[in-house]
Structure 1
Amino acid sequence: MSDGPWRSRHCLAVNVAIAVFFVLLDTGATLVGAAWWPAQPGTLAWVMLGLQALACFSLVARRRAPLTVVAVLGTYSLVLTLLISPVGALTPAHDWNVWAPYSTVLAAYGPLFYRRDQRSRRTALVALAVFTLIVARAWQPSAEIITIGVLRTAVGPLLALYFDARRRLVQALTERAERAERERHLLAEQARTEERARLAGEMHDVVTHRVSLMVLQAGALRMTATDEATRQAAEELRAAGCQALDELRDLVGILRSAPEGDETPSVAGLAALAAESAAVGTPVELVEEGDRALASPVVGRTAYRIVREALTNVRKHAPGARVTVRVEYGEAQVRLAVRNTPPTSAAGSALAGTGSGLGIANLRQRVELVHGTLRAGPAPDGGFSVEATLPAYVPTAELAV
């Protein structure tokens, strides 16, 4: 039901591809003489080239451990610089062309973008400062070396700050738009409620006035009529008028009440559904994650009906099965799954034959109305599964579910 595992595999594949790209880029640049490669490479040169490839491949962990990646590449750059000077174990073909790997640019991007709390930011700034000193080789004062080194370690953090600020701005604008939409929806609901109450009051005043006149006239006719048949008919007419007034009073009370009353099916009634099923011998485990308030009324009613239909089907077709109902309330989506174990006995033909057989089809149509998806089918363990993904917010004014 959830796309979390797929998303994790996708991110891992992307990170591996990026890491391999920088491994090939730095290895190729080194071999063609664009870095520290000596004119006559020895064993140490090839060992350092392999270590460079491993250090560059550490970019695969840049999302989960960005500071570790910075530490790995910073350590490698420092060791390489020390081996060249002052140790002198490596002699580059071009002394003026000794630079840290290109991977340092992307490594410097991670700490500020993937660590957003204040404490992590302060640690990241300290780590990047040390990283910059190593890459720029501050102990070898040279305007060209320091400039290029600082640029390599500054581009990543600047891009990270830009994209983080842009992300925050988009998130704030999105939240503001959603809040405005919810407020507009609430104002529309309030206006409809007020208009309903006004119309109910006018209807009550007009109809009550006319029916009251009829009741009074019927009562007067009953008192003044000379024959019994007329008096009986007048009494029946008066009694019917009084009953009509009572029913009108009840109807006006309903119209004046809020449209989303306690009796309206919603996710708040899922616990009652589970209890009803358990009472008739179908154990139900209800698991809810997140805030119910994230689901708008239309989505809540749709989720309620999906669970109700699924539990009804379990009672009909899978006697003795245990059911798990899982509902996840998110900012953008509401996900629910109803799964039952295999039945422990054969379904009764009388109960299984009831209904139209269109329950799942009707549910699918209802889910499509709110732009959601529904999947229903046998589970690998022999049970049955009904899974639905619904948008968290659907205005009541746009859909009548």
Structure 2
Amino acid sequence: MRRAADVAPALLVAALGLSREFTLDLPSRLVVAPLSFYVAVHLLSAAALWWRRTRPAESSLVIAFLSLLTPTYASLVSAYSVAAHAPRHRWLMFAHPVTWAVGAGAWVVPNLAGPGLIVIAGLLGLYLGTRRSLGQALAERERELLTEKVRADQRTRLASEMHDVVTHRLNLMILHAGALRMAAQDDGTRHAAEELRTAACQALAETRDLVGVLRSGRAARIPDVLPDRLSRLVADSALEVTLTEHGDADTVSPAVRRTMYRVVQESLTNVHKHAPGAHTEITIHSGPSTVRAVIRNTRPSTAPGLALPGTGSGLLGLRGRVEMVGGTLTAGPTDDGGFEVDAVLPAFVPT
């Protein structure tokens, strides 16, 4: 069907051109030549229409040049095509009425019907091309809205699953930790149970916030991570940790502070999972243009008999979070059998 739509205009303009040459007496020509020359020009210009969709600029230039030799009806189709199908080359539609007028010797024989028809064809192509572009833009927007609706439905289902599964387990942890604290006979057990209950309450609150974001689909305002919260994270980790901070963390962008906090948090979680009993050193450098967080732990001193289950995607997600704010993250084992995480972030990103 597409091939027929390309062949039909070429055959039509070739027939009109040949009929014009054989039936009309044209006294004025820019180029004086035998009849066979003009016939060849019409056939070449009709053949050039074959590329009016795939190479509209080149096809239009060839036809405009051939119209200087003798006016060809291919100029009508070419002006329409370049205006309708080639937005970047629409200016070429104005070349066709000029070359037609020059090729017809319009200054000698007043004949403005041809250029006028070419202008009308170009304006028609411009109108239809613009209308088609608007239709495509509207269709694309409709697809985007439909996709967003599907994603919103998926977010709602995911939020429901998270609420049913995760919050149920966290509530059980809180209840059991509270019962353990009440039934414990020694202070150490009661203190550990209270820390477990507090951590579970914090996790439950954060999970509910995330579920709310998933259900609403709107970006929620995430509270800033203040510099002293990092020291509280280290204190609550129940690990042997040395925290060293250089520079002024107050000058760091809130988004960078949140990312740095998550880097340290995920690293300490990995130490819990894979290196029980290891000593961990955390060094934070807060400079005027960059922030660097280095978390290095030694070889585990005990066998990971109580190691927590992991999926192996924590570092991948952490690297994605760091790259989202324009930073870099490297992680790998050290020569002494430990592990090191090194994150470099810009000091400021828009919030």
Query: Please, what TM-score do these two structures have when normalized by structure 2?
Result: 0.36
Query: Please, what TM-score do these two structures have when normalized by structure 1?
Result: 0.33
